[in-house]
Amino acid sequence: MGPLVARFEAGAGGDGRRRTRDGVLERHGRAPPRVRALACIARADESSSTSPITFSATAAAAYYVGAKVRIADTDPRTGNLEPASVEALNRPAQRARVVPVHLAGQPADLAPLAALARRHGLRLVEDACHALGATLGATPIGGGDSDAVAFSFHPVKHVTTGEGGAVVVRDPDVKRRLDRLRSHGIERDPACMQARPEGPWGYEVAELGWNYRLPDIACALGLAQLAKLPAFVARRRALAARYRVALAATFGAASGDHLDAPLAPPAELPDRTSAYHLFANRRRLAHFGTTRARVVAALTAARIHPGALHPAAPPARCTPRAARASSAAPAPAPIATTPAPSACPCFPRCTTPMSTASSPSSTAPLEVPHHDDPDRHNVRSR
């Protein structure tokens, strides 16, 4: 692997300020991101307690190794894991991992989850694919004490390498194993080989691995992107502020942070900073006498391209057929966030009309490039 891989690894695990923990970069081949998955759920006899509102990949990480997925409840303000409901799912002596997802870039409540993990001897693994650049207290997401933190560098994410991702791990042995797995299981450290190598060129294939190496070229892109991360996040936050002001101006009292608000923008919590992968908002559409399809059509006509946020309980649907047949599919737990969340884009490339760009109180529409527009990707955004 080339020299830029290590340089990118050193910076990719947080927001560039943190250099202390090990990152392992990984490229996607035809198969799903197994290396990240293994870091998250390494054993078939460990269950994974996670959120129902997430992309299927969160649960897939467990299913790859035949582990069970337990669906916990979510905090209606944020859509993130509710620690008390995770506690209820985990019984003493059960092997398990807790997998919070920082939904749409909003950091989950890590402190109570970490305390719970300590109490029950569970591992804490963050799905931070939406949250590079977010902070919880003074700590960037990825810089805390969790056992593993997974990031995605897909082109719609905060930083891209074209495709691929990283997992930041605490345990140096796990890091070494992941290094090996992403490169065909190859071991080059003589101290870890079964037989003494003939020379410095010698290596062993210590276990079955894959080719998930991230190329140097992708890391060059990643390094350039990482330098822009603060600007990308600032831009996303500015767009979110603009959405918030526009919603309040348009809907008045119907829009607000309180739980009963018919239209609730994402919560802004004093102790954390969302990286706004998306501007996810909850709507009680009956209040407005409309449907999600009509809202989407109207926003699209205004050149804002929203998307439905992850449908509830996707893990059950992504259960491999074989596992389903053996009734491994979990019964979905009650989901607190009943109104379907949906999301407006916060991509840095979203444009604002020149005359109103500096005026956050303007309700002028945001212009968002069409889905097929390559300029919507970070790669070409600055």
Ligand X SMILES: Cc1ncc(COP(=O)(O)O)c(C=O)c1O
Q: Which residue in this structure is represented by tokens 């009943």? A: 338
How many residues form the binding site for ligand X (CB under 6 A)?
12
Question: Which stretches within the chain are classed as H helix?
Answer: 3-12, 34-40, 56-63, 83-89, 110-120, 172-181, 216-227, 229-251, 285-288, 292-301, 314-317, 321-325
In the residue annotation, 157 being an active-site residue is answered as yes
Tokens of residue 272, six digits:
């954390």
Q: Shortest distance, CB of residue 28 to ligand X, whole angstroms?
A: 6
The one segment of 111-119, 126-134, 312-320, 372-380 that binds ligand X by CB under 6 A: 126-134
Q: Which of 39, 62, 101, 169 binds ligand X (CB under 6 A)?
A: 101
Read off the DSSP letter of residue 76.
T
**255 beta partners:** 263
Q: Shortest distance, CB of residue 124 to ligand X, whole angstroms?
A: 16
Q: Shortest distance, CB of residue 12 to ligand X, whole angstroms?
A: 13
Please tell me whether residue 152 binds ligand X under the rule CB under 6 A. yes
Tokens of residue 343, six digits:
């999301």
Comparison of 52 and 246: residue with beta carbon closer to ligand X: 52
Q: Shortest distance, CB of residue 234 to ligand X, whole angstroms?
A: 22
Q: Which of 39, 40, 69, 129 binds ligand X (CB under 6 A)?
A: 129
- Fill in the per-residue mask, 48 to 87: x = in contact with ligand X (CB under 6 A), - = not in contact: ------xx-xx-----------------------------
Cα(first)–Cα(last) distance of the chain, in Å? Answer: 28
Tokens of residue 358, six digits:
């500096």
Q: Which of residues 158-197 bind ligand X (CB under 6 A)?
A: 165
Q: Which of residues 242-271 bind ligand X (CB under 6 A)?
A: none
Q: Half-sphere exposure of 322 toward its Cβ, with a 13 Å CA cutoff?
A: 5
Q: Are strands 135-136 and 272-273 parallel, antiparallel or unpaired?
A: antiparallel
Tokens of residue 50, six digits:
């996670």
Comparison of 41 and 246: residue with beta carbon closer to ligand X: 41
Which one from 68, 157, 175, 228 is the annotated catalytic residue? 157
Distance CA 171, CA 207 (A): 19
- Fill in the per-residue mask, 267 to 306: x = in contact with ligand X (CB under 6 A), - = not in contact: ----------------------------------------
Comparison of 278 and 299: residue with beta carbon closer to ligand X: 278
Comparison of 315 and 330: residue with beta carbon closer to ligand X: 315
Give the DSSP per-residue string, 85-97. HHHHHPPTT--EE
Phi, psi of 38 (to 5 degrees): -65, -35
Q: Which residue is nearest to ligand X (CB)?
A: 152
Tokens of residue 6, six digits:
């290590």
Q: Which of 127, 147, 179, 187 binds ligand X (CB under 6 A)?
A: 127
Looking at this protein, which amino acid is placed at residue 18?
Answer: R
Question: Are 32 and 22 contacting, i.e. CB atoms less than 8 angstroms apart?
Answer: no
Question: Are 132 and 229 contacting, i.e. CB atoms less than 8 angstroms apart?
Answer: yes
Q: Shortest distance, CB of residue 164 to ligand X, whole angstroms?
A: 7
What is the distance of C-alpha 184 from the center of its chain? 26
Q: Which of 14, 16, 33, 107 binds ligand X (CB under 6 A)?
A: 33
Q: Shortest distance, CB of residue 133 to ligand X, whole angstroms?
A: 15
Positions marked active-site = 157
Q: Which residues bind ligand X (CB under 6 A)?
A: 33, 54-55, 57-58, 101, 127, 129-130, 152, 154, 165
